[in-house]
Amino acid sequence: MMNKVWLITGSSRGLGRSLAESVLEKGDIVVATARKPEQLKDLKTKFGDRILTLKLDVTDPNEVKSVVTEVISQLGRIDVLVNNAGYGFFGAVEEQSEADIRSQIETNLFGVIYVTKEVLPYMRKARSGSILQVSSVGGRGAVPGISAYHAAKFGVEGFSESLAQEILPLGIKLTIIEPGGFATDWAGSSMDYATPISDYAETLGLLKTYLQKNTPPGDPKKAALAMIQVVESENPPLRLALGKDAVELIRRGEKSKSEELEKWLSLSLSTDRDGSLTVFDTDTAKLFK
């Protein structure tokens, strides 16, 4: 069988780097992009022509288009797209500047959209392909202190869930990857911190201390192998949580939301027009399967 061509953004460190290395060890071809591709020099030395390293700032649509065009020109196809580039920013909403918030949304959400849109026409033409959108457990529930990050990751979830339904008949598969805490530099060099306001110390302090002083439980190498397994699956999930903490946080969040929905059900149902039909009473209900 022909080796797959993987395009992985944010490959210079963290989960992206672990995935790139694991894919190369598997024997596939990797296009590893990063803002500083020189950080991938060791992988280039080790794997030679099976890795193509390219500079990419995912927030620049023109640069995204240029990189995808170059990949197609050199390799002819993109079989797997992994939107992994991103970073965190810690601070209360009031502590974050407009620039801080915009940077989070641009990198963690619009970067995903830009790259996906550029790759889709080639996958659509081939009637095949796999897309892994690296979201976060923070795309399913929120904690204080990373509101802009949550806003971006919630956006990735909605964008990707809708997209998955659009492309399924075209032979393109999509899975949203939702990691919990992994032993990467996400809370270190990949995390920026706002100048604190003392009034928020109580609500943000506990999480900030945890992020700065604890090593998360997740193993990036094992996460990479799980992501490869998803790509190789005939029927991959729409969402895949990675790590015990992610699973537990999602379980707790879904339980809380379900309980709240039922508690306020009578008020929720009181707002319909008398005798009106809902989408679930019509053929349109199939859209919500």
* Catalytic sites, residue numbers: 135, 149, 153
Cα gap 191→113, rounded to integer Å = 22
26 burial via Cβ count (<10 Å: 0-12, 13-18, 19+): middle
Residue 14 to residues 40, 89, 223, 251, 270: CA-CA distances in angstroms?
Answer: 12, 16, 11, 26, 48
For residue 242, list its beta bridge partners: 179
Nearest to 126 by CA among 76, 199, 90, 165: 76
Cα gap 85→59, rounded to integer Å = 10
Q: Is the C-alpha dihedral spanning 4, 123, 80, 24 positive or negative?
A: positive
Cα gap 169→42, rounded to integer Å = 40
21 burial via Cβ count (<10 Å: 0-12, 13-18, 19+): buried
Sheet holding 29-34, edge to edge: 51-55, 29-34, 5-8, 80-83, 129-134, 172-179, 239-242
Cα gap 1→8, rounded to integer Å = 21
Nearest to 231 by CA among 28, 76, 72: 28
